[in-house]
Amino acid sequence: MVTKLEPGVVRIAHTRSGAEGSDEVVVAELDTKGVLVSWPRALGFVDASRLNDDDRQIPEPLILRDGDGWLTLAEGYTVGASASSLGHSLERLRYTRVIHTGVNGVDYVGVNGMTSEIDGLAKWAKLVPVTTQLMLGDEGKGIEGVSVVAKNLDSLPLGGPLDLQLETSYSHNPTPKGGVFTISTALLVRTRSPELASWQTHQQTHRMMQDLMCLVYGKPCGSRLISVMREDDQELPPTDERRYWRDAYQPSFGRAVDPDRRLTDDDNPLFFLDEANADRVAKWLSEYSYWSRPTWIAMSVLFHRTLPIESRLLQVAVALEALGYAIAERANPDKKVSGTYEALVKNIFDFLGYEPDAVVGKGGSRDSWCKAFNQAYKGVKHADNDLTEGREAWTRAREGLILIRCWFAAALGVSETLVTQRLREGRVGV
């Protein structure tokens, strides 16, 4: 069985791409930062010292092979080398990502496909590849058994420039553990491009999907890289649409969530995928250049539990300004966006077409809320203003995040009535 690419795995492998062209043995340790390569060198003190030169060129990518197969390590940099008068040294290199491949020497700077997994996605999309059914006796009397069936569903296209699709996945171990049979399921996010697109281009779309889930739940949703694919790195020449996908590991791929803060079965989204407009979902994914900045800034506050409340308010305020600016720019691409901070934030309310009670308060108004929010924002931004009281800062930051989530629901075609109902039910996030 091939070793999974995960923290704690240690691979003792032969190099296949050293600058010297020789076959050397290295130790590759996967951790929460990527992979650390320890490379023993039979070098004298002077030659070993040169490994620390600023212009030192390291193998990029570094290709390794051991009993479990090939590894391609990419995005690397040196972390220094030791030097010894005994003629032995140790060079250390760090790479930020690793792919379970290498026989064809492909660098994976560009890819044709990328797969990730995001917390909460299966519940939001209502796509689970397992169905259960009670088996009743004659005339419906008594339960004779339970049928559990695992079968992958058809892919669900969401659109966007990289043909983003949601694909179900499951695994089953036929041997029970502790008398318990289990079926593990997942819903994967997969992007495809007919031509090679940069790693970053694919990753951006997956980050948009992570932001999407965070906006939907109002809570941090973790994202993990699963695999990548290149048309020119297949096991066998393709005969149909099926392709061989390579396991990949990159800890910095998406924002990670502390284990005790991950979503639970009790967490519910503001709305579900089938309550949104499919065309608007595809449009939102396609307009990455407009929406990625405000959503990335806003959702980042969800992942930092120790962030001071003043800093939280600052980030939400910046995100609101960026969102108001993006709305104006999207409406008139050829016109320079201008206006005060409050005017930009009012663009969000104008887009919504209503004033959520969860934001402005019952009986409140857009204008009064924007003024109060701006005042609180200035209190933590400018030293010549009175510092905003902590509870006020927390309240305004929370309301600002709810406003961004309401905008997002409207952008995806979710009705005001549904959003208002769900907010009253307590789906306001953190």
β-strand pairing of 69-82 with 223-229? unpaired
Report the pLDDT value the prediction gives residue 363, as an integer from 0 to 100. Answer: 85
Q: Nearest CA to 42 among 89, 93, 83?
A: 89
381: Cα separation from own chain's centroid: 30
Q: Where are the beta strands (DSSP E) in 163-239?
A: 164-172, 183-198, 223-229
The confidence score (pLDDT) of residue 400 equals: 96
Return the sign of the alpha-carbon dihedral for residues 403, 404, 409, 412.
positive
CB 361 within 8 A of CB 276: no
> Tokens for 137?
């006796």
Which tokens is 241 given? 């649409």
How many alpha carbons fall within 13 Å on the CB side of residue 241?
Answer: 2
Asked if 111 and 228 count as a contact pair (C-beta separation under 8 A), the reply is yes
Alpha-carbon Rg for the chain, nearest whole angstrom, is 26
Question: Measured between alpha carbons, how far is 336 from 329 in angstroms, rounded to an integer?
Answer: 8
pLDDT for the residue numbered 126: 94
CB contact at 8 A, 430 and 302: yes
- Cα dihedral 261→278→248→214 (10° resolution): -20
Q: How far apart are CA 203 and CA 209, in angstroms?
A: 10
Count of C-beta atoms within a 10 Å radius of residue 306: 5
pLDDT by residue for the chain (430 residues), tens only, comes to 467 899 999 999 998 764 455 678 999 999 999 999 998 876 666 665 666 666 678 888 999 999 999 999 999 998 877 766 666 778 889 999 999 999 888 999 999 999 999 999 999 999 998 988 888 877 767 788 888 898 998 999 999 889 999 999 988 888 888 888 888 889 999 999 999 999 999 999 999 999 999 999 999 999 999 999 999 999 888 888 889 999 999 999 988 888 888 898 899 999 999 999 999 999 999 988 889 999 999 999 999 888 899 999 999 999 999 999 999 999 888 888 888 999 999 999 999 999 999 999 988 899 999 999 999 999 999 988 889 999 999 999 999 999 999 999 999 999 999 999 999 998 887 7
DSSP labels, 231-268: TTS-SS--SSS--PPEEEE-TTSS----GGGS--TT--
Looking at the DSSP assignment, which residues form a beta bridge with residue 12? 27
